Amino acid sequence: MRTLLEKVEKLSAQQVTTSTLIKKAKKRKEILTIVGFIAPALIVYGVYVVYSIFMTFYYSMFDWSGIDKNLVFLGLDNYIKLFQDDIFWKSLGNNSLLVITSLLTQIPLGLIMALLLFSPIRGMRFFRSIYFMPFLMSTVAIGILFIFIYDGNFGLLNGLLGAIGLESLQQAWIGNEQTAIWAVIATVCWQFAPFYMILFRAAIVGIPEELYEAADIDGAKKWQRFKNITLPLLMPIIITSSILSIIGSLKYFDLIYVMTGGGPNNSTELMATYMYRQTFTNFNMGYGSTISFSMFMIALGVTVVILLGDKRRRGEE
């Protein structure tokens, strides 16, 4: 009898072991399948992003033209030079101005346009296309278009000012150091506000209709519905939009390069345009890499601060 019990126990143990091995094999197969699907994206990301970041920091420690093979090690001299560079601080100030203006205009405008898409207005499909059209246009085309609009002699803006009797305000908008940065910032905001409109519209669609029905039953007005239902539920997408806006503004390049090239007299210079000029115009790859890595660190620091602030806010809630 004891022998029979021992055999049963042994058989049960073998079955448990076999079952465990089968589960481990399935889990291992699932992991390999996941790795197989993710690996191509990870390789591309590692080569073109992670590796590029490390190489940017590496080159920032050298005096190198980017063409010849002579790399002169400078250590942190490029970073010391950067902190003493007035043009860099001017470009950082312009980037900061672009960040603040983008947060205060692009995101609110995107939210307002998204809310308008849900209003009972006839021809809303037409307005939806009109609202989104600036984001569909090529940046180069937008830059050339607004160069003509801001033209001091034949520009549309000066023509409108003259038509309403405000000739005293007419000027070369992107040729004046005082107005050039505001002119290009207005163009950037016009281009990217539709992008945030799409994000907010998608988020609003995802809000359960039952919440609004309950608010209507309680007698809530439109503003109360927006304040107590829509806005709190949109907070995650607002945080995400803010991060995208800040990072995009800190590394912005193309429209400024097309419209002003950083001029006049560096009044519209951004960190990206200054980095491009140092790297590909002055052939100073080492110093250009220093500017580029500094841009990365600034954007990373700001993003971490925002995420930590959002985490603390959600923890308090």
Cis peptide bond prior to 208, omega within 30° of 0: no
Give the integer Cα–Cα distance in Å for 229 and 248: 29
From the list 104, 111, 264, the residue with the least C-alpha distance to 188 is 104
Give the integer Cα–Cα distance in Å for 185 and 182: 5
DSSP secondary-structure letter at 119? S
Give the integer Cα–Cα distance in Å for 10 and 290: 68
Give the integer Cα–Cα distance in Å for 50 and 47: 6
**Tokens 């160069």, located at residue:** 147
Q: Is the pTM of this model over 0.75?
A: yes
| Cβ pair 111, 196 in contact under 8 A | yes
Q: Residue 5, exposed/middle/buried by CB under 10 A (0-12, 13-18, 19+)?
A: exposed
Give the integer Cα–Cα distance in Å for 14 and 147: 79
Per-residue pLDDT of the chain (317 residues; tens, 9 = 90+): 556 455 545 555 555 566 666 777 777 888 888 888 888 888 998 888 889 999 999 999 999 888 888 888 888 899 999 999 999 999 999 999 999 999 999 999 999 888 888 777 776 777 777 888 888 888 899 999 999 999 888 888 888 888 888 888 888 888 888 899 999 999 999 999 989 998 998 888 888 888 887 888 877 788 888 888 888 888 888 888 888 888 888 888 989 999 998 888 889 999 999 999 999 888 899 999 999 999 999 988 888 888 887 777 676 55
| Cβ pair 97, 110 in contact under 8 A | no
Segment holding 114, helix H or strand E: helix 86-116
| CA of residue 100 relative to chain centroid, distance | 13
